[in-house]
Amino acid sequence: MMSQILAPKGAASPQFHDFVDTRHGPILYLEDVSVSFDGFRALNHLSLYIDAGELRCLIGPNGAGKTTLMDVITGKTRPDSGEVFFGQTIDLLKLDEPAIAQAGICRKFQKPSVFDALTVFENLELALKTDKRTWPTLFSKLNGEQRDRIQEVMLLIGLAGLKNQPAGILSHGQKQWLEIGMLLMQEPKVMLVDEPIAGMTHQEVERTAELLLSLQGKHSIVVVEHDMEFVRSIARKVTVLHEGSVLTEGSMDEVQNDPRVIQVYLGG
């Protein structure tokens, strides 16, 4: 069934995104997922459903399984059991890491990896041209539509004024936004964002909150973050992980007042 939907690896498949079927359910569907490392259950019968366009915050004490969960969604780690679907029809357990990225699930790691010697514009241009959904076009000229897209993303990440500046002069926060912009060039359906505000100034944190809020609706975003004040500022629905399972889900107020959540955070 998958072979009808998936283009062969490396082939151009710009229409692929359109096949993510969310008409009757979530965009990410994890059911009863378990992952063991040497007998230790990092994920333990975890079930999680993310709706299309949702901005979901994922919290939980160290070791709760947050990173492992992202590893499972992106294909880096294979679960021992359970189901992981992208929309109704795409079984992520049948795809490898590059195919999952190509399908429209991207991940923002903590450390920014922009190219310091290239300008803001060039970094975004490179992200567009190395988009694995299209044939390599590294040496071709940008068309108008592509220029518009770069401009749109520069405005979104607040770096339009620094368009011709080398990324090397950007602040830590600006580099993080540029990297988010580079991911956005590929128009991902789902963005997984691991601790986006680590090392940012207060102002940068506020701007990052605005940026993530502005992306919801068009993209589904899962944010892992420890800073509760930040989570509160962006949170719609919050999922609390503990010992590899979902402990509870709800609004920030609901989860913060949940005695079980208080217990795992205070009781360690």
Ligand X SMILES: Nc1ncnc2c1ncn2[C@@H]1O[C@H](COP(=O)(O)OP(=O)(O)O)[C@@H](O)[C@H]1O
By the criterion CB under 5 A, which residues form the site for Mg ion?
66-67
Do the beta carbons of residue 91 and residue 99 sit within 8 Å? no
Minimum gap (Å) between residue 93 Cβ and ligand X: 18
User: By CB under 6 A, is residue 109 in contact with ligand X?
Assistant: no
Which of the residues 1 through 60 are near ligand X (CB under 6 A)? 37, 40, 42, 60
Q: Which residues contact residue 222 at a Cβ distance below 8 angstroms, ignoring those fewer than 6 apart?
A: 28, 50, 56, 57, 58, 70, 190, 191, 192, 193
Minimum gap (Å) between residue 80 Cβ and ligand X: 13
Shorter beta-carbon distance to Mg ion: residue 89 or 110: 110
Do the beta carbons of residue 44 and residue 246 sit within 8 Å? no
Cα torsion at 200, 205, 207, 208 (round to 10°)? 90
Site string for ligand X, 227-266 (x = CB under 6 A): ----------------------------------------
User: By CB under 6 A, is residue 62 in contact with ligand X?
Assistant: yes
Residue in 64, 106, 128, 154 binding ligand X, rule: CB under 6 A: 64
Residue 65: contacted member of ligand X, Mg ion, none (CB under 5 to 8 Å, by partner type): ligand X
Residue in 16, 20, 46, 68 binding ligand X, rule: CB under 6 A: 68
Shorter beta-carbon distance to ligand X: residue 189 or 242: 242
User: By CB under 6 A, is residue 63 in contact with ligand X?
Assistant: yes
Minimum gap (Å) between residue 247 Cβ and ligand X: 12
Residue 135: contacted member of Mg ion, ligand X, none (CB under 5 to 8 Å, by partner type): none
Q: What is the C-alpha to C-alpha distance for residues 32 and 83, in angstroms, rounded to an integer? A: 7
Minimum gap (Å) between residue 218 Cβ and ligand X: 27
Shorter beta-carbon distance to Mg ion: residue 59 or 200: 59
Shorter beta-carbon distance to ligand X: residue 68 or 239: 68
User: By CB under 6 A, is residue 196 in contact with ligand X?
Assistant: no
Interacting residues with ligand X (CB under 6 A):
37, 40, 42, 60, 62-68
